[in-house]
């Protein structure tokens, strides 16, 4: 296989040549590499700068890019693993370029490594679903667990049966399906964690393009597990009109739509609490600014996340306008009008046409039609 040197962040490494004519070039070579996941990797590196950690496990490394960047750019000792012999060989070649960093390379099923060893940070980045790995990762991760999922169709309800099988929860393909996907995955991670008398606190989580990325702090003790479970609940969605409501509960109630009387559909169990930590986002924004990255896509994402209301589930206000057969005002005007009426409202990172609000539908309807 012929390799090509690439630069990401300040880290150089080799990846195999990809077939640019293939339908999905990142998967066309013996070892996987997807340039479009750079923002995902950048987000982790920036977060790690503010965390006090001394070991990081790149469980499913492919070329090793994540672990290499963490070692080289953050100065954290790393273990980089992949069970594929081709990947492990490439990781060794790449690691040899950084003799000054503490890099251990392993070639095993990551579950075997996590069963015998603990790390300050465990990072899961599988093909598709992380579901089979979260249980063991929740015991191996001493302080932080990072998870990527790219199986957005099952998570978001487009492949309903697969979503139910993998995550033990019922998604639904709604206008806010990307948010359902993130919260469903988060709810699953919580349920996998609390059985070990541990809890989680979301630090920096987002959904983007075809993936969900979670950065979580692990907490210890049965009480912390119980606290995490207090954020588990359901979204009740009316199948006939735009009405939805959130319920924090272990078991869902049966609800009727207060707008039109239809029996509400239940989505969950899922995480209904905040998905980000304000202090963490503030520090991320400051670090990005200090690096001259204040205008970057990542910085814009951090800003939107910090302004986003922490509660489920956003409305696509163009869809609402279509439902009510009205023509929509610009998003910022809609948000300002809702706030003037005494309710909370924000944009959301999930959707450029998304609005989060605690306002009732009639206020939303008035705001969408009233031009500033």
Q: 145: which strand partners?
A: 122, 216
d(CA 213, CA 230): 22
Q: Which of residues 280-319 bind ligand SAM (CB under 6 A)?
A: none
Q: Which of residues 100-139 bind ligand SAM (CB under 6 A)?
A: 109-111, 125-127
Give the contact letters, 173-212, x = binds to ligand SAM (CB under 6 A), - = no: ----------------------------------------
Least CB distance to ligand SAM at residue 141 (A): 16
Element (H, E) at 8: strand 3-8
Least CB distance to ligand SAM at residue 76 (A): 16
- Alpha carbon distances (Å) from 221 to 146, 200, 218: 20, 11, 10
65 lies in the site for ligand SAM, by CB under 6 A: yes
72 lies in the site for ligand SAM, by CB under 6 A: no
Q: Which is nearer to ligand SAM, 41 or 244 (CB)?
A: 41
Q: Which of 47, 51, 61, 288 binds ligand SAM (CB under 6 A)?
A: 61
Place of tokens 């999905």: 24
307 DSSP assignment: H
- Alpha carbon distances (Å) from 163 to 83, 132, 155, 267: 26, 13, 5, 12
Q: Could you tell me the two tokens for 14?
A: 């080799």
Q: 213: which strand partners?
A: 148, 206
Give DSSP secondary structure letters for 102-171: -EEEE-S-HHHHHHH--EEEEEE--SS--HHHHHHHHHHEEEEEEEEE--HHHHHTTTHHHHHHHHSSB-
37 lies in the site for ligand SAM, by CB under 6 A: yes
35 is in an annotated binding site: no
Least CB distance to ligand SAM at residue 231 (A): 28
Q: Given the rule CB under 6 A, which of 55-63, 154-162, 230-238, 363-371 is the region that contacts ligand SAM?
A: 55-63
Ramachandran bin of 215, using left for φ above 0, alpha for ψ from -120 to 50, beta for the remaining angles: beta
Nearest residue to ligand SAM, scored by beta-carbon proximity:
60
Q: Which is nearer to ligand SAM, 115 or 297 (CB)?
A: 115
Strand ordering across the sheet containing 315-316: 315-316, 351-357, 345-348
Least CB distance to ligand SAM at residue 113 (A): 8
Q: Which of 29, 48, 51, 62 binds ligand SAM (CB under 6 A)?
A: 62
Element (H, E) at 245: strand 244-248
Q: Which is nearer to ligand SAM, 83 or 98 (CB)?
A: 83
343 lies in the site for ligand SAM, by CB under 6 A: no
8 lies in the site for ligand SAM, by CB under 6 A: no
d(CA 288, CA 110): 32
d(CA 154, CA 181): 8
For ligand SAM (CB under 6 A), the number of binding residues is: 21
Q: Which of 14, 32, 46, 211 binds ligand SAM (CB under 6 A)?
A: 32
Summarize the annotated binding site for S-adenosyl-L-methionine as residue ranges. Answer: 41, 66, 82, 109
Residues at the site binding ligand SAM, with contacts judged by CB under 6 A:
32-33, 37, 41, 60-63, 65-66, 81-84, 87, 109-111, 125-127
């Amino acid at each position: 296989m012929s390799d090509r040197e690439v630069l990401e962040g300040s880290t150089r490494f080799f990846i195999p040549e990809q077939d640019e004519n293939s339908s999905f070039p990142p998967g066309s070579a013996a070892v996987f590499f997807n340039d479009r996941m750079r923002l995902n990797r950048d987000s982790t590196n920036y977060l790690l700068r503010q965390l006090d950690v001394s070991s990081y496990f790149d469980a499913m490394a492919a070329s090793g890019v994540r672990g290499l960047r963490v070692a080289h750019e953050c100065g954290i000792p790393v273990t980089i693993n992949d069970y594929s012999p081709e990947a492990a060989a490439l990781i060794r070649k790449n690691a040899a370029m950084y003799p000054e960093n503490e890099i251990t390379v392993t070639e095993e099923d990551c579950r075997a490594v996590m069963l015998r060893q603990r790390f300050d940070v465990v990072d899961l980045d599988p093909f598709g679903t992380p579901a089979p790995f979260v249980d063991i990762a929740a015991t191996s991760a001493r302080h932080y667990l990072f998870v990527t999922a790219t199986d957005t169709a099952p998570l978001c309800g487009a492949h309903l049966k697969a979503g139910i099988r993998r995550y033990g929860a019922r998604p639904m393909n709604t206008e806010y399906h990307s948010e359902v996907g993130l919260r469903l995955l988060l709810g699953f991670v919580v349920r996998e964690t609390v059985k070990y008398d541990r809890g989680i606190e979301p630090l920096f989580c987002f959904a983007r393009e075809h993936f969900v990325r979670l950065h979580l702090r692990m907490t210890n003790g049965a009480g912390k597990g119980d606290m995490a479970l207090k954020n588990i609940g359901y979204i009740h969605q009316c199948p006939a009109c735009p009405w939805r409501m959130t319920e924090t509960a272990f078991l869902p109630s049966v609800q009727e739509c207060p707008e039109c009387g239809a029996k509400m559909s239940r989505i969950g169990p899922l995480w209904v609490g905040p998905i980000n930590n304000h202090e963490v986002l503030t520090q991320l924004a400051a670090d990005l600014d200090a690096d001259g990255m204040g205008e970057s896509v990542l910085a814009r994402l951090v800003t939107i996340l910090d302004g986003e209301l922490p509660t489920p589930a956003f409305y696509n206000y163009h869809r609402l306008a279509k439902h009510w057969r009205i023509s929509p005002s610009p998003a910022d005007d809609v948000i300002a009008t809702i706030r003037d009426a005494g309710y909370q409202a924000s944009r959301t990172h999930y959707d450029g046409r998304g609005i989060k609000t605690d306002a009732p539908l009639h206020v939303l309807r008035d705001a969408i039609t009233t031009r500033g």
